[in-house]
Each structure stands twice: as C-alpha cells, then as structure tokens.
Structure 1
Amino acid sequence: MWPAVEPGLLAWCQRTFGTPLRLDAAFDTESDCEALVKTAFPDMVEEHVLDAVAQLVQWKEDTVRLHKRARSSIHQGPQVQEVYTSLLRTSNLCILEMHSKRKQRKYRDEAPDARSRHFEAERVKYSMLLAQVIIGAKLPVVELVQSLDDPRSGWVHIFAARRANTLKNRYQVWKPFQTWLEVHRGYTFPQGVKDVIDYMQHRVDDGCGKTVPDSLNTTLGMLELLGRVPESQRISFDPLWKGHVKSWCAELAEDAPPRKPAEMYTIAMLLSLELVVGDEDAVLFERALAWVVLCMVWGAMRCDDVQAIIPHRSVLSNMGLRLVLGRSKTTGPDKVQKEVSVHIHRLTSLTGVDWIRTGFDLWGEEPLNFRRDYLVMEPLLDWTGVKRKFLPPSGLSSQILKLLSALPRPQRTAGGWKSMHPALLLPDGIEAHFSGHSPRNFLTSVAAVLGFPKDQRAYLGRWSMGMVSSEEYVRTSRQVVFKIQKAVCQSILEGFGELYHEDETIGRLCEYAVSTGANPARIKKKHAVMYDVGGRVCLHSKYPTLENCWDLFEADGTAESDDVLCRDVEAQARREAESKPQECKFFITVSRRTAMKRLHLVGCFVKPEHCGEVIFCNEVVENDFDSICQACKKKMAKECGKEGSDHSSTASSSSTDSDPRGDD
C-alpha cells in the first residue's frame, strides 16, 4: 500500500523504489525522510516539503506491522547460522582444520580400551607390591625369578590370571600385618605360627570384622604357595593356626550384626526413572544414566557389570535388548565363559514409556557413541555432556545416588504417568538408604516372591554359568529371563498370578527417613503407588503398556529373528539415502576389515565403483570420517593457498583405496 501523497511525489516513489517495502526501508527518522524528499525535489517549497515528510512518516507508522509481516512472508533466503554451518561443512580449509584438531584431541582423550588399561595398570601395580613382600621374605621363588631374562615380567606373571581387585584386597590385608611385624618383631614376614596368632589375637581384641582372620589366612596361603615354600614349612597349613582361624571366625560371627542385603528400589522409583528417560527437557547425562539404572534393575547387574558392557556389541532387536559383558568378575579370556549376555524383554515398561528404545538411541548418538570398552563415562559437572574418560564402578555408584536424589515424584493422570516437578521422590538425603547393589536385588527378590525356583532365578544374575555347561546356559538363559521379566511386569501392572507387596520395602525406607529427620508419612505417601482393588494389589494398568512398538512384531504375534536390529535398519536406510552420487563434492570410502572411513574429493584417482562401500555427501562433519586421502589433502591445501604447509599425514596411506582388491 503506497502512501497518500501528491501525484508527482507518488510517481517518483513508485519509479525509484518499485515496492512500498523498499520505500519503507529508505528512511527511519523524520530527518532521513526530509533529506530524501529534498534530494529528489531540490526546488520544492519548504512548506510542501514539510507536508510530504509528515505524510510519509505517518504512513510509515501506520503500516509498520503490515510491512513486518510482509517481510517475514517473503523472506526465503537461508539464515546466517545455516549459511555458516554449510560453509564449515563444505570448505576445504575448514575440513583440514577439523581433521587436524580431531587428531590433536585423540592425544588428550583416553584410548578406546581405557578400562582394560586401567585394570591392567592396577594389576601390575599390586603384583609388584606383593612381589616386594616375597622378595623381602627371601622365599625360594625369588632366586628362580631373578634368574629370568625379564624378572619384572616374571613377577607380574607369577600371580597368574588373578584380577586387579583380588591382588589389591590381598595387599590391603597384608600391609597392616607387615607393619605390625616390623614394629613388634623387627622383620616383615612371619617366622612361625606365633607371629600370626599374636597379630590376629591383637586384631580380634580390638574388634575387627568377622572376615579378617580368614582373609589373612588366604593371603598367607597365596604368598607361601607362590613363594614355593615347602608344605611342611607353610604356616597356613599348621593345624594350630587353622584351628585358631575357625574359632575366631565363629566368635566374631556370633557378635557381628546379621548380614544385611542391599535395599530394594520401590515401584515409584522405577516409574520415575522411566519418565526421566522419556523426558526430552531433562539434561543429557540424567536421561542416559536413568536408562543405565533401569537396565541394572531388569538385568540384575551391579556397577562392575555395567562397566564391563561393550557398547558397540549392544543389540536392540524385536525380542528385546541384549547387552554383552566382556571381561568382568565371572567372564573373560581366562574364564570358562569368555563373555555373557544380559537380556531385557522388549515390552518391559511400567509407565508406557518406551524407555528401552529411547535410551538405546540416546547412547547411540553424539556425544555418547564413541568407541570404548566400557559403558558409562565421566559426566560434566552440570551433566549436560560427558568426558571421554573411564568412570570407575565406585564413581558410577556415586553418580547413581546423585541421580536418585533428583528423581521427581511420579503421579498418575488421566493420560498416564507424569513427573511432578519440583517435588522430589527421595528428599532430605534419604537416597543414601540405597547402595550400588540395590538395582541388582530388585528383580531377583520379586521373582522369589512370585514363586520362581532358585535354579531359574540363577539365570537373572548369571549365577547359573557355573552350574550348567556353556552351551546349555547360552541356549536357555534368554528364554528363562524373558519369562521372569514378563511375569514380574504382569504382577506389578495387573496383579497377575502371585501378588507382590512392597509394604516391607517402603517401611524400611520410612525407618531410615526417621533416622535422617525426614517425615516418614510424607515418604510413604510418595512411594505408595500400588493400591488394592478387589484383592489385587498392583498399578491396575494393562500389560503390556507399550503400544508404539508393536510394529516390531509380525502380524501373527511372533517376533522376528534376533538378527534384525532396529538401529541397523535405520542406519542402512540413511546410508542408502546419502550414497546417491548426485553432483556431490565428497565421497567417503569405508574399509571392510577395519571400518575406517577415509574422505575423498570427487575426481580423486580412487574410483568409487572400485570400492566396496561408498558414501557420497556434499557436507561433512568431524565424525563422518577418520582420515583424509593424501592426494585429496594436497589438493585441498593447494586450493586454500596452503600448498607449502606441512599438514600431518594420516596414519595409513590412501594407496589402499586405489587398489580395487583392497579393503574398500
């Protein structure tokens, strides 16, 4: 809409600016408008100039909102951020710098096998400390090991395949005894039965734990065995010493408090954890850790088991989630079971949130999907991101307690369950009532209540590995675990079969709340989510609660093969969509043997048709490739005017790509 000014001025505006929007943008203030009119009509009378300026300014004020909407509707150009991002992903200079910074960061980040290196370093450390004990005692094996070409390696290998934690515990038991001997006897290794009996009696009189005598006897027996002490001279074989150990253990066990198992999670805590996983407004690590805790609950895992999970071997299929444990307390290269799987049924959910799929996808995306031999890494202080560093099991237990302290209270609504922020489920620090073994204790305890026999419950925590043959365990474990998980879900949701009552669990939590000064009535109200209707104590929801994952199953209700992976199907579709060579600037070759991804420019001497797997693209980000072709890197540097720069070469030559018989 043009302004209502005299015809001559209007004609000039239409001829000069073309559209009202351009005229509106030509001036901002009254002085700007006056200068504009005087420039176009220098001979105009001053009075007419002031009238024209007043009309134009009034028109601009009346149409400001109309012109703003018009600009928004016709704006079709890319945003500044989009243009900037596109330049970063297509510029040769940016790609070279991106690759250089990534190589530098590899030196700062921990290696993919950080967990294995950590435990190997611990094993070597405590092997050498125990070796010093043997050397100081001048046991017969010392002379033999010192005669080896590599004595240091010999001392490490003398302890065979004992785990780092085992050696650490043995050394921590022996160190106080060694100090006591040095102070009271003047030597560091017992010379007879009198030394060990006097020390142990001293510890018993001071009030030691009931396992201390047996632990000292085990450590002494290990040192004498590895030190090649003759059986007739071994103190650990002496009947007088063995009799004292049994007597002390009986006395200490009589006075010690009864063994207390880890406290169980309440149903309200499981509901809240599922809601946290599905809450897109929650911070990244909070959702990821909530998924881990739920996997610990339904997979009966402890913190050490979680850190033994191999992330890139995890599988989500139509049957459920399968997590592969590598080297752990009961598995590894030196064990009967090299590795073992943890299974969680696909329809396991109490709230209707598909937490298995949501969390699995979350761990498969940046920044959680880097290559490593453990699952959980160190988080940032605000939990918005993670560091590429191994988190020890003790650290994982602490992070879980921090997560529990921030769990929101779940509440049932007409549309299902929702989190009641900022009401906390475990206020006033009562999350300390639970320990790192609490998640492992839930499923096995509920299964016992529902009447499952011990030999079936042994499959939940993988205790049955030593009871049956390897083949029988692998063949039977998933079927038994799925059967128990479905029965537990049905019992909690519908009151199916045997009923699970958590009054005792909530009662112990309320007792702990009293000891911390919290209100037990308020805690009980928050956690009592199951109620009795018609003699059935449950959540009164229909099993299964999931409806959006039935497309994973065939029409007859049977699941497809376990080899059909949801993630693989999506990845393959994405790969096919990206691999269409339609005027692309780059292509990435993927090695069949090592899966290394090398970036090339289109027109490189490496021919895509000669390679096994190729991905064409117009833009690349840092994680899309592992290295750059040498020839293409030189070409990029030349185009950027850096042909004299010394860009570091990749670890492997691009000659592999040029050979049709190579890995690509």
Structure 2
Amino acid sequence: MADQLPDIAGYLWTQGFGPREMATLEVADSWAIAGQIAFELNVPHSDKLEQAVVEIIAAAKEERNLLLWTEGVLAGDLAWMSLASSSRAPLRPWLDDRPPPAKKVKKLLASGEERVLWTRHLADELDAIGAPVVKSIGECLDPDRAYEMLPGKTRSSTLKRYVTMYKRWRLWLQEAKRVDPPSRPADLVDYLLVLRDEPCARTVPDSLLKSISWMERVGEFKAELRATSGRVAWAAKDKIVEALYEGAPLIRRAPRYPVMVLVVFKRVVLDDSEPTGLRIYAWAKLVKVWASLRWSDLQAIRSGELKLVEGRLVTTLRRTSGPNRRIKEMPLGVSEAAFFENPSWLRIGFELLQWLVTFSRDYLLPKLNLAVFEKKMAEYADAVVVSAAILQRAGMPAIVQGFWTEHSERSVLPTGLSVLGVNGPEKDLLGRWKVRYICQVVWWKGRQVTVEVRSGGPKGNRYHTLDEREVASSLQDWLK
C-alpha cells in the first residue's frame, strides 16, 4: 500500500507548501491535512497517508532548525558552507526534470502559446483599468476567442513589451498620483521625467509612449481621455530623448570596406592558385556586399534554392528567427552589373560552390577545415578566421585585420549610396525585410543601385567620390 501512495511532497510543493511552509504546521493537524489531500487526489483517507504527512512535517521542522542554526552560527564560516553546498542533497527532486527557462521560452514560441499567454495578460490589464472594450467583449458569445483576436497582427514579443511597459505605468500612476489610467498628458510627462532621472535607456521613452498609445487604442478610450493625446507628452518625450543622448557614447558602427579591398576579394575568387575554400568564402563576402546581408542572412540562404539566372544570382530568403514574424520571405538578387573589374566573379564563385559542396543542407556555407569542407554549418567565429586569412592574402598587415568585422560588408552599399546622394526607396530596400509590395521592385532596382555605386566617378577618383577618406581616418583612430 505504501508504494501506491502518490508523491505527497511533490503535490504539496505544487500547491505552495514547501519545506518552510510545512515547518509551520503541527503534527497534531496531520489527520485533517491528510483528509484534504485524499479529497484533492481522490485517494483513500488511510493511516498510511496520515503517517506520510507526519513524516513530511517532521522532516520540514528538522530542516528548518538546521537552516536556522547554520544561518546564525556558521554564517561567516565560508569554508564550511562551500563544503556543505557540494554535499547537500537536492531538497526538491521532483523539480529536477523541469526544462531550463530558455528552452521553455523557445517551446512557447514554437507552439504559439506565448501569444496566448500574453493575450491573457492583455485581458487582465484591460480589465484592471476598466477599458471600454472589456464591456464590448463581454457581450460576445465567446469572449476568450474575442480576446485572442484583439491584438491583431501584433507579434507576441511586441505584445509582451506593450503590456509590460503599460503595467509599470499603471502601477506608478496608482501609487504616485492615486488615479487610474488613462489619466492626463501631464501625468505622463511626470512619469517620463521620473524615467529620465533614473536614468533610463535612450529607447525607453519612445517605447513607453508607443506602448501606452497602443493600449489606449486597443482599450477603445475616447481620444480626449487618452494620456497620449495632443503634443504635450510627445514633445516631452523628444526633449528627454535628446537629453539622454547628451554625453552618451556614440553608437559604434561597423566600418565599411573600401573599393580597393573589394577588388582584392574579386581577385581571390578568380585566382586559380588560391585554395578553393578561400575563393568560395571571398565570393560569399562579395555577395554580402552587393546584397547588403548580415552573416545570419547569408547562412539562412538554402543552397538548393540559390540559382544563377542569365548572369544574375537570385533566391528567396526566408525568415528563420521565429514563427511569428510578420514578413516571412524576402526576394534577394545580386545583379550582373555588380562588379568593379571583371563581372565573371559571380558565376565562377557560384560554380565553385556547386562543384565543391555537393551534400544537401539548409544553409549556404559549411565549415572550412584546411582545404576541405566539413558537413557542419559554419559559425560566426569560423567566418572571422577565414576573413583574416583572405585579408592576409590581400596584403593587409595583421595589425589592421581586426578593424573590419563580419558586419562591414552590409554597410558598403548604403553608405556609398548616401555619399552619392541616393536616398529613399532605392536605398531602403537594401537587405531590409519590407512588406511584400515593396520587395517586388527589388529586381529592377538592384541593377540601378549597383551601377550607381560601381560608377562612382572615374576609376582613380572613387577614393574621393565615395568619401573613403572617412574609412582611412577611422582606421587611424582605431590603431591608436
């Protein structure tokens, strides 16, 4: 019979009765406690069940006495505490099988349960502030499903940020002002000033106003009752952000490659005497330049979907960082006009990749080991090592190789176009996850953009036309 008893200690822990809570109970009450457990677990109310409760209470009291004694008498004995912690048995073995927090969050994201969770928090917050939309949803036949529709296209991560920041604002308002939301714009200005005095990060004021404005719209508050109505709060936000930027360190951006280095990359691709693996990686760096890709975007390219059509490299880049992204795919193309000396680099590098890397995979570049590729996806650190080898073969001294990063390729085209005076959609399309109808023009815009950068003046004048003096100045500061 004893073997058939459920895990009483584990059940009590799930109900909030851990060792410290059980130590406050009396053994004389064990029969009544056993009766409640028997009712909840639908098991017989037996003497063995009562005895199990008695043992749990006695063990909890003994553990509490030991903890009190060690905390009071041996608080300063660090050596004893280090020895005791290494030999102490786990107090809650029924919790050992729980997944780590990070895996739990990934599981929620993959299953879509995180959105459901934060939709419930949204409903609780709207109910706490007495939003008019709560009454409207209450009249629905299925209020739970109506609440699920309420966030619309808002992603779960954005919904989490909105609800969290609004809850902080509500709690401050109730504590400091003794009023409930939506309150007045003056109260929101006071809260912004409190955040500035903490101080907060430079992005917090803008995120706060967006969160409050979104919650007020979802809650269906009248415009004249909203704390974000008018220009008072928004003007205060702009001024506070400006003040937070004063004295703050500048945002460090990856330095772009000068044209000279891009030409060297192209020569490595076309040089038959170079190792084939380095030639493929040099080709990949040029693809990152002309498509304005991050390293993660490059590795998200599926090799089976990469094609060379009439001299143009094309594929569709699919978002892999989460199931709830609004934009699922992005057309990607490298124009046949993307070259400085010889346009054949695009075709030759693509053919080398198809010839040498023949195994199936869901990424683009495998890990390079000496002269062969392993059947393993290359990581960011692997790309850094290979980039250093390519720069070394390009004649770059070892002392300056660390100046450029794996993000440097992405900044070449946008910066070059800005220097040439090209702005607007032509520049905004570069490597950006835009809405579908904008992405449809990337094919014919790609050739125009690359031609403008490639023809940035006479061959000997690109250093001045593309303002590469800024790169040289940054390198001098970096070497100091």
- TM (norm. structure 2) is 0.56
In structure 1, distance between residues paired with 2:177 and 2:373: 56
Identical positions, percent: 18
Aligned-pair distance for 1:507? 2.0
String of CA shifts for 1:473-517, please: whole Å, max 9, x gaps: 3674144134235425x855x658974452320220221232xxx
For residues 365 and 502 of structure 1, do their structure 2 counterparts lie closer, same or farther at Cα, with a shift above 3 Å needed?
same
Correspondence for 1:234? 226
Aligned-pair distance for 1:297? 0.9
Correspondence for 1:343? 334
For residues 322 and 459 of structure 1, do their structure 2 counterparts lie closer, same or farther at Cα, with a shift above 3 Å needed?
farther
In structure 2, distance between residues paired with 1:178 and 1:273: 53
For residues 127 and 442 of structure 1, do their structure 2 counterparts lie closer, same or farther at Cα, with a shift above 3 Å needed?
farther
Q: Map 1:190-269; keep pairs closer than 5 Å.
A: 192-193=183-184, 196-237=188-229, 240-253=232-245, 256=248, 262-267=254-259, 269=261
String of CA shifts for 1:189-235, please: whole Å, max 9, x gaps: 85634764444322201333433212100011112222334434332
In structure 2, distance between residues paired with 1:441 and 1:174: 36
Contact in 2 for aligned 1:277/1:287 (Cα 8 Å):
yes
Q: Map 1:27-66; keep pairs closer than 5 Å.
A: none
Correspondence for 2:392? 409
Correspondence for 1:296? 288
For residues 200 and 159 of structure 1, do their structure 2 counterparts lie closer, same or farther at Cα, with a shift above 3 Å needed?
same
Is 1:484 matched with 2:476?
Answer: no
Aligned-pair distance for 1:268? 5.5
Contact in 2 for aligned 1:288/1:362 (Cα 8 Å):
yes
For residues 481 and 283 of structure 1, do their structure 2 counterparts lie closer, same or farther at Cα, with a shift above 3 Å needed?
same
Correspondence for 2:16? none
In structure 2, distance between residues paired with 1:169 and 1:363: 44
In structure 1, distance between residues paired with 2:365 and 2:175: 46
Secondary structure of the 2:455 match is helix
For residues 210 and 143 of structure 1, do their structure 2 counterparts lie closer, same or farther at Cα, with a shift above 3 Å needed?
same
For residues 183 and 232 of structure 1, do their structure 2 counterparts lie closer, same or farther at Cα, with a shift above 3 Å needed?
closer
Residue identity opposite 1:442 in structure 2: V
Contact in 2 for aligned 1:128/1:156 (Cα 8 Å):
no
Correspondence for 2:57? none
For residues 300 and 377 of structure 1, do their structure 2 counterparts lie closer, same or farther at Cα, with a shift above 3 Å needed?
closer
State which of 428, 440, 445 in structure 1 corresponds to 2:410: 440
In structure 2, distance between residues paired with 1:513 and 1:123: 48
Contact in 1 for aligned 2:338/2:447 (Cα 8 Å):
no
In structure 2, distance between residues paired with 1:406 and 1:122: 42
In structure 1, distance between residues paired with 2:143 and 2:367: 41
When Rg is computed on C-alpha atoms for both structures, the one with the higher figure is 1
State which of 116, 125, 132 in structure 1 corresponds to 2:114: 125
For residues 134 and 287 of structure 1, do their structure 2 counterparts lie closer, same or farther at Cα, with a shift above 3 Å needed?
farther
What number of residue pairs does the alignment pair up? 366
Residue identity opposite 1:226 in structure 2: V
For residues 405 and 328 of structure 1, do their structure 2 counterparts lie closer, same or farther at Cα, with a shift above 3 Å needed?
same
Secondary structure of the 2:206 match is helix
In structure 1, distance between residues paired with 2:343 and 2:309: 19
In structure 2, distance between residues paired with 1:380 and 1:503: 34
Correspondence for 1:454? 423
Aligned-pair distance for 1:403? 4.8
Secondary structure of the 1:461 match is coil
Contact in 2 for aligned 1:314/1:321 (Cα 8 Å):
yes
Secondary structure of the 2:333 match is strand
Aligned-pair distance for 1:410? 3.6
Q: Which moved more, 1:479-488 or 1:292-301?
A: 479-488
User: Where does structure 2 lack aligned partners over 5 or more consecutive residues?
Assistant: 1-105
For residues 190 and 463 of structure 1, do their structure 2 counterparts lie closer, same or farther at Cα, with a shift above 3 Å needed?
same
Secondary structure of the 1:236 match is coil
Secondary structure of the 1:454 match is coil
In structure 2, distance between residues paired with 1:452 and 1:352: 25
Contact in 2 for aligned 1:119/1:164 (Cα 8 Å):
no
Contact in 2 for aligned 1:210/1:249 (Cα 8 Å):
yes
State which of 464, 468, 471 in structure 2 corresponds to 1:505: 471
String of CA shifts for 1:335-372, please: whole Å, max 9, x gaps: 7x9753423326626589835532465268656643x4
In structure 2, distance between residues paired with 1:407 and 1:360: 20
The structure with more helix, counted as a fraction of residues: 2
In structure 1, distance between residues paired with 2:342 and 2:478: 27
Correspondence for 1:135? 124
For residues 406 and 220 of structure 1, do their structure 2 counterparts lie closer, same or farther at Cα, with a shift above 3 Å needed?
farther
Secondary structure of the 2:392 match is strand
Indicate the RMSD between aligned Cα atoms, in angstroms: 5.3
For residues 327 and 472 of structure 1, do their structure 2 counterparts lie closer, same or farther at Cα, with a shift above 3 Å needed?
closer
Correspondence for 1:553? none
Aligned-pair distance for 1:406? 5.0
Is 1:320 matched with 2:315?
Answer: no
State which of 342, 354, 359 in structure 1 corresponds to 2:345: 354
In structure 1, distance between residues paired with 2:161 and 2:369: 31
Contact in 2 for aligned 1:326/1:339 (Cα 8 Å):
yes
For residues 367 and 170 of structure 1, do their structure 2 counterparts lie closer, same or farther at Cα, with a shift above 3 Å needed?
farther
String of CA shifts for 1:9-47, please: whole Å, max 9, x gaps: xxxxxxxxxxxxxxxxxxxxxxxxxxxxxxxxxxxxxxx
Is 1:473 matched with 2:447?
Answer: no
Residue identity opposite 1:507 in structure 2: S
In structure 2, distance between residues paired with 1:404 and 1:358: 16
For residues 378 and 478 of structure 1, do their structure 2 counterparts lie closer, same or farther at Cα, with a shift above 3 Å needed?
closer
In structure 1, distance between residues paired with 2:143 and 2:358: 43
In structure 1, distance between residues paired with 2:393 and 2:251: 32
Secondary structure of the 1:409 match is helix
